[in-house]
Structure 1
Amino acid sequence: MVKAKVFLISFTVLLLIFSGMGAYHMYAMERSVARAIYADVLDDMQDIGYLEPDLAAYYVQKMEELGWDVSGDVFDGSRPRTPGERARKERQEEVTLVLRIHPSRLSQWMHRFVQGEVLFSFAGSRPSEYFDPEW
């Protein structure tokens, strides 16, 4: 009887440890994918001087395929967003990207435990690399 109790307790502890490690691993992978998307969009913004709507739609579709909630504007706060406001290198202007993602439920729980919030949030600015050809 004692051996069975020790076995069940040990098995439960091992199951909890491996489940926790697996959950943290999934959270870390999902966060790294979100960070990679942020870095890709910021690189593209830096090259063209603004957040192109087709580029934003492409990445929103990728995030939707990952199962993330993208019902709102995930790029809210990013600027410039139109070709008329394009940031130019010769004027020493910057592009700013703000990305807020609602990850999967498991990652939301883990992120709340680790960071204290539910959303994956990334923000940053870089100098524009776009040169106006007419300059």
Structure 2
Amino acid sequence: MGIDFDKALGVHPDALRLRAERTRILAANIANESTPGYQARDIDFASALKRSMADDATGLSLDTDGDAEALYRVPNHASQDGNTVELGSEQAAFSQNSSDFQTSLTFVNMKLRGLAKAINGQ
């Protein structure tokens, strides 16, 4: 009898993959804050996670390499050079995403520790 890690870890591995992809996109936004015409992008995390869970149920895999889920962000204050990056908003989103990533990582670690205890018979 083997352990099915997909069932044991739940949604957290997919959440970690999506959070990592979102971190990359938000970092690109921050790096291009002064690039004229750059369009800020972001991921709708909830819908991307639902889509990922549905794909896993049908046997498909999560593909975040192509930025297919990244949407353009609408700025609160338009700039004259066409850049839609608002540094404060991007930094806040990046910080929140980092915190959420750490939370999901903590859940994965707790589940793995629980599985190790079960294997050892504790």
TM-score in same-fold range (> 0.5): no
Which bracket does the TM-score occupy, shorter chain normalised?
Answer: 0.3 to 0.5
TM-score, normalising length from structure 2? 0.36
More strand by percentage: 1
